[in-house]
Amino acid sequence: MSAHARREPRGPYAKGISRRQEILEATLEVFAEKGFEGTSLTAIGEAVGVTREGMRHYFRSREDLLLAVMAAADERARNVSMAADDDGVLARIIAGAEHNASVPGLIALYTTLVASSVASGNKQSRAVFTERFENLRTQIAQAVEQGQAKNEIRQDLPPRVVASLIIAASDGLSMQWTLDQHVDVLEGMQLLRKLLLP
């Protein structure tokens, strides 16, 4: 093994990473079971066997923890989208939305956090979601431009507007699904895909 070979973390650092991941996963389970109001650092700590003080070692506040859950979910959705690379731009976007819908509690958590971020006093959440939407619009617009260059997407459509519509459709359908599981998010996204085809 070379001196530059990447090694897996060991010792207390590895345990800390593992525990942090366990907390992130437990948060979604607690949220799915108890809702936003019942998802406290104490409740999550009880689920993983960590005291409230111990939880604060990993996350300063409930908001920090919930935003970290969303960041981890975004990363997983990105990985799923990239794995669907051969199927075209729109298929990658839909694969990410499909993945998010498959994680219990994730869509409800996302919807709750976005809604609460517009309330006064939630500067951290507002900044996180403002940046998240801007980054998503940019990434999707770039993907749309690539799709247009390959004649996978109508070329008469402005990429940033298409990106905003894709986000709005995904978020709007997902929000409706949290209230009524008969709403078919994937069917709606597939229809949008057809509307964007040349």
- Mean pLDDT score, 111-121: 87
Shared domain check, 31 and 55: yes
- Mean pLDDT score, 179-196: 91
Q: Is 6 exposed, middle or buried (0-12, 13-18, 19+ CB in 10 A)?
A: exposed
pLDDT at 25: 87
Residue 8's pLDDT band, with cuts at 50, 70 and 90, is: low
* Calpha distance 115→171 (Å, rounded): 12
pLDDT at 155: 95
Residue 198's pLDDT band, with cuts at 50, 70 and 90, is: very high
Domain interval for residue 152 = 63-196
3 found inside a domain: no
Shared domain check, 141 and 163: yes
pLDDT at 95: 79
| pLDDT at residue 191 is higher than 90 | yes
| pLDDT at residue 111 is higher than 60 | yes
1 found inside a domain: no
| pLDDT at residue 76 is higher than 90 | no
Shared domain check, 121 and 50: no
- CB atoms under 10 Å from CB of 26, counted, come to 19
pLDDT at 188: 93
Shared domain check, 68 and 34: no
Shared domain check, 34 and 15: yes
Shared domain check, 179 and 98: yes
Contact 163, 144 (CB under 8 A): yes
Shared domain check, 83 and 38: no
Shared domain check, 169 and 125: yes
* Calpha distance 188→165 (Å, rounded): 12
Shared domain check, 24 and 108: no
3-state secondary structure of 188: helix
Task: Using the 3D structure, point to which of 17, 34, 59 is the last residue of a domain.
Answer: 59
Kindly report which listed range (18-22, 79-83, 94-98) carries the lowest average pLDDT score.
79-83
* Calpha distance 161→47 (Å, rounded): 43
Mean pLDDT score of the chain? 85
Shared domain check, 91 and 41: no
Q: How many domains does the chain have?
A: 2
Kindly report which listed range (31-40, 76-85, 120-129, 160-169) carries the lowest average pLDDT score.
76-85
Instruction: For 122-177, write each residue's pLDDT tens digit.
Output: 888 899 999 999 998 998 999 899 999 999 899 999 999 999 999 999 889 988 98
Shared domain check, 105 and 80: yes
